[in-house]
Amino acid sequence: MALDVQFKTGLLWQDTQHKEWIKLLDKLKGAKKKKQDHQLFASTISFLVMYANHHIGIENEYMKRYEYPERNFHMEEHRLFILRLKDFREKYRNFSDEATLKIIESMTEWVYSHILENDQKLGEFIIKKEQPHRLAVK
Amino acid sequence: MKFDVKYEIGVVWQDFQHKQLIDLFRQIKEARSKKKDENLYRYTLAFLSMYVNQHFKLEEEYMEKYGYPDKAVHQKDHQKFVKELKEFKFENMDYSEAGTEDLLARMEDWILSHILENDQKLGKFILSFEQKESSP
């Protein structure tokens, strides 16, 4: 996925965490092609759970603190993400081809619908709040 | 332990991550005092592995990008913690009362010696760097 340029807001913590998402997705796709994706199943699930907890937690904290105008919408998307992850874990307790396909599909969808859209807006908003002159010189 | 005010620097992601660790420390400490720490033990170990991965990575990313002068010392601290955690996990995979006690002591030491010391310096540096960068 050649998202390197597009998804960078310049907000280091957010970019770093998004990069990890993309990296894992690429790795998983590569492994799937070689039919080695079963090795990655457990660690991918742990990553997603961690991400839900951690990354989403940080974004929510910023939105609350800086009173982000679109926070209701954005936090609702986060809530649905967590809910979908929970359903997924109940349905697919163990590795299967279908499970990996489903993860790849959902993770890719999340990149386009959330990371490249709402998260970019949020990132720019945070920079504007914290470092108002930085966007101008970007 | 009362760190509520003391550990917050104003770097929101960093404060958030520190709070997560401190909250977990309190939780398992409380559970230990009620002798209900067995269930939390494995979770705490799993959390710590994830935490060091994520949190240290972010701090190191900032140190690198912003040219933090104390980077080498700070990074060494991280490496030491990762190494000790790995050894601890290896030796204490299964729950024991002594294991929780040991883990609590290590977490407390980390909070006092690292989070309340070096991380405060780093947080202040990040804030001043970003504010300087944004001045017209």
In a domain, A29, yes or no: no
In a domain, A10, yes or no: no
pLDDT for residue A68: 97
Say whether A131 and B58 touch across the interface (CB within 8 A).
Answer: no
Closest by Cβ to B134, choosing from A12, A65, A133: A133
Q: Are B123 and B59 in contact (CB under 8 A)?
A: no
- What is the pTM assigned to this prediction? 0.86
What is the predicted pLDDT for the residue at B51? 87
A14 assigned to some structural domain:
no
Parent domain of A62: 37-137
Higher pLDDT: B111 or A132? It is B111
Residue A9 lies in a domain: no
Q: Chain A residue with minimal CA distance to B133?
A: A134
* A32 located within any domain: no
Give domain status of residue B27, yes or no: no
Q: Would residue A99 count as lying in a domain? A: yes
Total domain count, chain A:
1
The per-residue pLDDT for A50 is 86
Residues in chain B closer than 8 A to A130 (CB atoms): 130, 134
Write the ipTM: 0.82
Query: Which structural domain range is residue B70 located in?
Result: 36-130
Query: Which residues of A lie inside 8 Å of B (Cβ-Cβ)?
Result: 12-13, 16-17, 46, 50, 54, 57-58, 61-62, 65, 130-134
Average pLDDT value for residue range A70-89: 95
DSSP letters spanning chain B? ---TTTT--S-HHHHHHHHHHHHHHHHHHHHHHTT--HHHHHHHHHHHHHHIIIIIHHHHHHHHHHT-TTHHHHHHHHHHHHHHHHHHHHH--S--HHHHHHHHHHHHHHIIIIIIIIHHHHHHHHHHHHHHHT--
Q: What is the pLDDT of residues A89-100, one digit of tens each?
A: 999 999 999 999
Pair of tokens at residue B117 = 């010391």
First and final CA of chain B: distance in angstroms? 42
Q: Is residue B25 part of a domain?
A: no
Residue B132: predicted pLDDT = 77
What is the pLDDT at residue B99? 96
Interface test with B, best of A58, A65, A129 (most B CBs within 10 A): A58
Q: Is residue A2 part of a domain?
A: no
Q: Count Cβ neighbours within 10 Å for each residue of A114-138 and write b for 16 or more, e otherwise.
A: bbeebbbebbbbbbeebbeebeeee
- What is the pLDDT, as a whole number, of residue A41? 92
| B2 falls within a domain | no
- Residue among B48, B49, B61, B134 with most chain A CBs within 10 A, to mutate: B134
Cα B129 from Cα B134, distance rounded (Å): 9
Each residue's pLDDT tens digit in chain B (136 positions)? 555 557 788 899 999 999 999 999 999 999 999 999 999 999 999 889 888 888 999 999 999 999 999 999 999 999 999 999 999 999 999 999 999 999 999 999 999 999 989 999 999 999 999 887 655 5
Cβ atoms A42, A24 nearer than 8 A? no
Instruction: Please give the tally of structural domains in chain B.
Output: 1
Closest-CA residue in chain A for B46?
A: A46
Beta-carbon contacts of residue B59 (< 8 Å; ≥ 6 apart): B14, B74, B78, B119, B122
